[in-house]
Chain A
């Protein structure tokens, strides 16, 4: 990568990203409002009692009495000034609601992501190295099993084993509530709560990484430059690390880039099963309640994440494979 090209590349990509995000915001806004029902009718439906005055009051308070294009214009203006709006349902600013939940999700998905990537690539490399032998078969079967098993089922089974039978780990939540704790105790408490959901979420992606790594490594291992390396006497371990694995990592990085973009939204199921107070659930509950500003706020954050990680992935390509050049 030539350093001189980088600032221009970044600038061009940022401008494009901003346009993409803005387009996404408009699409999201229209899509969300196309869903039948509105927050007022949801609240009326949940309250067990309603009258016409009640619905009208709520709609006026939520700004739903304005024409859609006016609502869109107001929303765009506030997003452009980096204000994500106000949730009238929860009587709180959207940015606050999202920020409260962001750390929990990042912790969960970050842990799952790191675990899946590290363990997946290791297992995939091991399997490729021992292709056709029993270790390969075990890894392949295990990976396939986790790939094919629904997340929530894995989660519930882990809870049954580790919380109900063995009583080692808590079955839900992010921390113990109502207990005084300090420093390391808090870390240990959260770690205990984190283990099962992170494992559940990680196992699925682990399977993907393991299979991907194994397949591409086998493909690369057959290529001429590997044979050349072997012929000139490079040690087998070094061939595997420097020649095969490094070249095999490109598709893995592509996939990791995609997954990293989904870190915010991809964990709704696990957050639900483990009552993890994350952003995925916030979005899902906002959808059910038709809490438009919150839903749009979460969408906005996720789309920014996706765009950012795409950019990061492109930069990483160039680091791993010098043949790839950045170009806007």
Chain B
């Protein structure tokens, strides 16, 4: 190794770069076999079968047990997993996946094209709402040989590949599910996948233990002997567990944003907010358009302009996440950086409310709205307090209502709210994760549909164009146009492109290497001595 190369490496080591295996090797840190990674899951998943349950913590732990055909880089480029390679026909209707050789399920059965087709066409189609909507486009699924899967679509669908990540379409063993009720099959209690770690033990309320799968298809991997997820329900206890080294890794909402600065300053810990690019959750104030005066576009614009999004991201989330600029997160495909919502301007907001004919009364209140606080932790209560203060400055009185997760989901699903907070995954492509909130055909009494009731025929048309076009250029044009309209009409008040802190001891390497971060299989994660 030459001197100049050494200097270069030193510089790159100082920069907060992601440690990939290759980088680690280049720096002379060969992946070390052995060791147990301890982490936290919160809340405790009900079951670990992806598809039957798709909650955040389920996807994190079961992501080590199951694998999809592909995964995605931080810029959403497909990366091979169970599919070694794939081709797409020029008309965009035929997808052929070549599968990896020598892949075995944890019970010893080889994984073949049959399992893949069963997973797509039967299992996820039956249990998972996200897959059902997309896989209905598949006209024909065939296995020309045991290691090839050919899917023929009824029409071109450009975001199709994004549906083959583990979180959307985990490959499950056909022999353990076929002919049974998928939700109650015994395999749901003892999940069997192809991933680098197999399910070993679950003491409910205490811990989940996954152990190394010796017959994993990547030779020499995984490096870890086991992964243990402890169930720790209190956020302060989770922080202490990390600080005292009793766990080496936390993710998602384990650590409250206001605890992050203190943990950043600890020399043995590394804090990353990367690894959420595929999901790209966008947080917004969810408005119910049936409640007056929220049907008035000037009122919605005024609410949007009354809020300081920099304050929200810096003071409430301590820099974990960034201010939203439009309905499509900047990490999602087809985000148009030139289209932005109106800037923070309290005076202009007040002027808009005046123009809407909403005059303040003697107490300076123009109108009162109820706000259903999102019951997902302390930071959301703080956000509600902030919203109340800032909207009061422009004469809108916000009455906060607290609730629990069950009531929140029911009330949003039943349209029984004035305003609330929601954060919604975008799944990499606006057709998959953004369209559903704005098109009038998706106004349903179900959470995560267009519960607000916004309706604009032009928006419907543009989303349809983007959905049905095979050409990325046409789709970009439609999405840019729809971003412009939505930024003017502000059907929802976008606040923040969310990220969640992944915090780990520096001796844990390769934690965040893809656009799915801690949801990855961890077959390349290792502990330095």
Report which A residues bind B (CB closer than 8 A): 35-38, 41-55, 57, 61, 88-92, 97, 100-101, 104, 152, 156, 159-160, 163-164, 167, 170-175, 177-178, 272-275, 277-278, 281-282, 285, 288-290
Contacts and interface: CB of A to CB of B under 8 A. Distances in A.
Interface of B: 36, 38, 43-44, 46-47, 53-56, 127-130, 132-133, 183-184, 188-189, 203-207, 209, 226, 228, 230-234, 236-237, 240-241, 243-244, 246, 404-413, 424-425, 444-449
B237 A159 contact: yes
A140 B187 CA distance: 58
A64 B233 CA distance: 28
Given A47-B54, A172-B240, A178-B36, A277 B446 contact: no
Contacts of A53: 129, 132
Contacts of A43: 46, 53, 55
Given A37-B406, A37-B409, A159-B240, A277 B232 contact: no
B143 to A, nearest CB: 27
B244 A52 contact: no
Contact of A178 (B55, B228, B243, B448): B228
A166 to B, nearest CB: 11
Nearest to B423: A48
Given A36-B407, A37-B409, A91 B241 contact: no
B46 A45 contact: no
Contacts of B209: 177-178
A175 B205 CA distance: 12
Contact of A61 (B128, B183, B424): B183
A274 B237 contact: yes
The majority secondary structure among interface residues of chain B is mixed
A78 B481 CA distance: 59
Given A101-B204, A172-B241, A41 B406 contact: yes
B448 A50 contact: yes
Nearest to B184: A91
A159 B246 CA distance: 13
Given A47-B53, A50-B129, A53-B129, A288 B244 contact: no
A52 B444 contact: yes
A175 B201 CA distance: 14
Contacts of A100: 203-205
Contacts of A89: 46
A90 B236 contact: no
Given A45-B447, A47-B54, A52-B446, A288 B410 contact: no
A44 B411 CA distance: 12
Contacts of B449: 50-51
B137 to A, nearest CB: 15
Contacts of B412: 45
B240 A285 contact: no
A55 to B, nearest CB: 6
